[in-house]
Amino acid sequence: MVDGWYFSHVTALALWGLPVPGRVDRGREPLHVSSATGRSVRRPAVVGHRAAPVPLRLVDGLPVAEPISAWVRSGQLMGLDDLVRTGDALAGSWPPLPEARRRRLGDLDRAILEVGRARGITSVREARALIRPGVESPKETELRLLLIRAGLPEPEINTRTHDVRGRYLGKPDLRYAWCKLAIEYEGDEHRRDPWRFRQDILRRERFADAGWRTVRCTDDDLRGRRADERVDRVRRLLS
């Protein structure tokens, strides 16, 4: 790395702790390095990009493009769902570094306009239409996309929920308040953490006492036959 070079595209997203395709996490994607000096970046296992200067931050001492700047330039390197997951994370609360979370949707819109005709920007615009604030995990994004692509109404996301007496019940991952249906994604951490496991049970009981049904989902329910079964169950409960 020389002055004027910085990590960009999907490499920057990974350094920010944002969701990226599995091949990037597993080191099967070359590093992406951009140059604002006009000099080509030529290194083994590196994809070089020439780019105008962009806002940079240091992450563990490394010069890295800001998260939104890296996202809008990654359209040709990520599939639509990956772009939505990353966008949801930018507008959500869960990424580990504060600079990479709780961004306003208007910030994403401005970045899309400013980048102009960058490669893959059509995919980024398509992903932007599916991004929602308030998402708290990539699996919540996958679950929401599964439901709406099956033609179901779009659920509310992580909304504080109360019973008719005003008692706080919890904040389901997804909900359809009009028919009292909550949908929860449960990763393995829900069973490995004793406190979380017990709190999940108490919360489900509170919702049940208030007349809510809860559909529980795991990673196996996000694809294939199991996904079809989960969608059918939600559809039956909605009707």
Q: Which residues of 93-105 are buried (b: 16+ CB within 10 A; e: fewer)?
A: ebbeeeebbebee
CA distance 49 to 36: 9
Say how far residue 104 (Cα) sits from the centre of its chain.
14
For strands 181-185 and 213-217, give the pairing.
parallel
- Angle between the N-to-C axes of helices 121-128 and 80-90, in degrees from 0 to 180, rounded to the nearest 10: 60
> For 98-102, what is the mean pLDDT?
91
Kindly list the domain boundaries of the chain, sorted by start residue. Answer: 5-128, 138-238
Q: State residue 225's pLDDT score.
A: 96
Amino acid at 105: L
Domain 138-238: CATH class, spelled out: alpha beta
Contact 66, 9 (CB under 8 A): no
Determine what percent of the chain is predicted with pLDDT higher than 70.
100
Report pTM.
0.92
pLDDT band at 193 (very low <50, low <70, confident <90, very high): confident
pLDDT band at 189 (very low <50, low <70, confident <90, very high): confident
Contact 82, 68 (CB under 8 A): no
| 115-173 tens-digit pLDDT | 888 889 999 999 999 999 999 999 999 999 999 999 999 999 999 999 999 999 999 99
The DSSP secondary structure of 129-167, one letter per residue, reads: TT--TT--SHHHHHHHHHHHHTTPPPPEES--EE-TT--
